[in-house]
Amino acid sequence: MKKIFTILGAGILLHSSVYAQAPVHYNRCGMQMYHNELIAQDPSWAEKFAAQRNSLQAAADYYMELKRSGDLERTSTTVSAVPIIFHILVDSAQFNALGGTAGIIKRCDSQIAVLNRDYNMQNPDSGKIPSNWKALWGNVGVHFGLARVDPSGNCSPGYEVKIISGSTTTDGGFSSINSVKSPSTGLAAWDVSKYYNVWCTNFLGSLNGLLGITQPKSDGATSTKMGVVILYNTLGCTAQNGAVPAGTGTWPTPYNLGRTLTHETGHFFEIWHPWGDDGGKCPTWSSTATIAADSTGLVSGEDPGTACTSGLGSDDGLSDTPPESDNVYGNPHYTIAGGTTHDCCEMNSGTNTQPIGIACLSYMDYTDDDAMYLFTTMQAAAMASMVLVPPSSGTGATGYGTIGENYNLTQNPSLLIPCSTTGVTPSPTELKSSLSIYPNPTTGEVNISINSAEETLNEIIVINMLGQQVKTVKGNNVDYYSIDLSEMSKGIYFVKCNFASGSVTRKILLQ
């Protein structure tokens, strides 16, 4: 494969395979760079990373067993959305390139929509998934919403902006990842036990061209550093047909569908690149292996005369992502009926290890935004295990170190309730009333029962994850209401009942 080498900070070398159609001035992800930096500081991190990767299948199996046994509801809180705060750190020109405040609002809303579609098997481009991969399409089941209340209890639009000089957006090198998170040079993280922190900025110096980088909990990220940093103008999504929404500024095609954050969020929930970041090696390599470039089954633009790097490699630790030598850029040409394409790891001792091709269509590869369509079943299960109730010792949950590590992020639904609905910051204790809202989850009809003659219901407001009021029902002095949500998109909604003496908000899941 053709290789391109980019120096990323002192002593850091990140290489990636780049196909002919790839815009080489962009580098999809800095995860391997981050790992290399930690290993350079402390060589023991190499073993820690290997152990974490090797525990992922056990984490996925643990989740799948809970699902099969019917115990998932008891140990899962995936109906609670993860509150996201976008910290936007740009200069004035970049602020204008985002479309200003109005553009940022549209971008944040569309980014939440992308995450909820991609993580819940609702992406509109799923029709492009080849037939043999459909059975491997996995549902993470995690939902996301804008953080509408800040750590001090004040109303928030879900983002904050700091305008700085373009020359100080980052200081270049790995340390720039930390500078954007510093209160003095950037924007400080909100409580990482309650908020998913995403910084949107420009990468300068040796990081110029980077799209995103993640510091998850397992990598020793502190409470001031944990989260994701993405290139500022990859925030949000243009229409699937490429049309740019009015007032949203400029976009770095082909990275204009919000999949940069989809990819980095996968790292935040601990899954890896499918090829294992091993420098182009095959995980099936052995002294008796027969591994060579397949001149008839290559990704368009790949050099057919180059074989895999010699030596035993690794992969992402998950069973349903086929062996893959290295990352795939661009928009691959599929060569397998019902599948994707081969790379040079196709054969091992005469056995085809890629019968339906490589997972270049996964959100965790490096392809263009419009060439990513799914998480595999095991990728989804491994991520879903991160929001389970943390298992106690003795449960037999191998991989205990990461299972449930993001559970707390799903325990704060009040942070998702827009203050602007009533103009009043939500109280920590809701109105005491005999109010029932059922069924939950629902497939369409929501029933509201009020068992208190002392309460006068003024109105019922249904709010989506973007903070938009999608339905309003006026109170009419009855104690029972039925609301039909069947025509709305599946996902999480808030039902807010405004009484004369206060309000009660309940979260519901529309399936």
Residues 223 and 87 in one domain: yes
Other Cβ atoms within 10 Å of 475 Cβ, number: 17
Structure tokens, 40: 């350079």
Contact 240, 124 (CB under 8 A): yes
Give the CA count within 13 Å in the CB-facing half-sphere of 331.
7
Assess if residue 16 is contained within a domain. yes
Look up the CATH number of the domain holding residue 21: 3.40.390.10
* Same domain flag for 382 and 496: no
How far is 201 from 229, CA to CA, in rounded Å?
Answer: 7
The secondary structure of residue 466, as a DSSP letter, is T
Both 209 and 85 in one domain: the answer is yes
Question: What does each of the 511 residues of the chain score in pLDDT, given as a tens digit?
Answer: 222 222 222 222 222 332 333 344 589 999 998 899 899 999 999 999 999 998 999 999 999 998 888 777 666 654 578 999 999 999 889 999 999 999 999 999 999 999 999 999 999 999 999 999 999 999 999 999 999 999 999 889 999 999 887 554 444 555 667 888 988 888 999 999 999 999 999 887 778 889 999 999 988 777 889 999 999 999 999 986 667 888 888 898 899 999 999 999 999 999 999 999 988 888 865 433 344 444 333 333 333 234 577 667 889 999 999 999 999 999 999 999 999 999 988 887 778 889 999 999 999 999 999 999 999 999 999 999 999 988 875 555 545 568 999 999 998 888 988 774 444 433 434 454 457 787 778 888 887 877 665 667 889 999 988 788 899 998 887 777 888 998 888 888 889 888 887 778 888 888 8
Same domain, 49 and 92: yes
Q: Are residues 427 and 490 in the same domain?
A: yes
Q: Would residue 210 count as lying in a domain?
A: yes
Can you tell me the distance from the alpha carbon of 460 to that of 456, in angstroms, rounded to the nearest whole number?
Answer: 12
Distance (Å) of CA 493 to CA 326, 468, 501:
40, 10, 23
Q: Do the domain assignments include residue 249? A: yes
Q: Is residue 449 part of a domain?
A: yes
406 lies in a domain? Answer: no
Of 372, 387, 402, the domain-final residue: 387
**For residue 434, what are the domain limits?**
419-510
Peptide bond preceding 151: is omega within 30 degrees of 0, i.e. cis?
A: no
Three-state DSSP state, 86: strand
pLDDT confidence of residue 274: 96
Does residue 294 lie in a domain region?
no
User: Can you give the pLDDT at residue 20?
Assistant: 31
The answer on 368 and 506 residing in a single domain is: no
Is there a single domain that holds both residue 369 and residue 505? no
Quick check: 342 and 5 in contact, CB under 8 A?
no
Query: Are residues 217 and 166 part of one domain?
Result: yes
Same domain, 122 and 219: yes
CA 494 centroid distance within chain:
22
Residues 371 and 486 in one domain: no
202 domain-assigned: yes
- Does the model's pTM come out above 0.75? yes
Nearest in space to 35 (alpha carbons), one of 170, 221, 210, 189: 221
Whether residue 377 is found in the same domain as residue 477: no
The CATH number of residue 444's host domain is 2.60.40.1930
Going from the C-alpha of 206 to that of each of 3, 64, 326, 438, the distances in angstroms are 18, 42, 22, 54
- Do 500 and 373 lie in one domain? The reply is no
pLDDT score for 79: 57
> Does a structural domain hold residue 34?
yes
The pLDDT of residue 84:
97
Phi-psi map region of 33: left, alpha, beta (phi>0 left; psi -120 to 50 alpha): alpha
> In the numeric block, which tokens belong to residue 33?
């760079």
CA–centroid distance for 138 within its chain: 14
Indicate the number of domains in the chain. 2
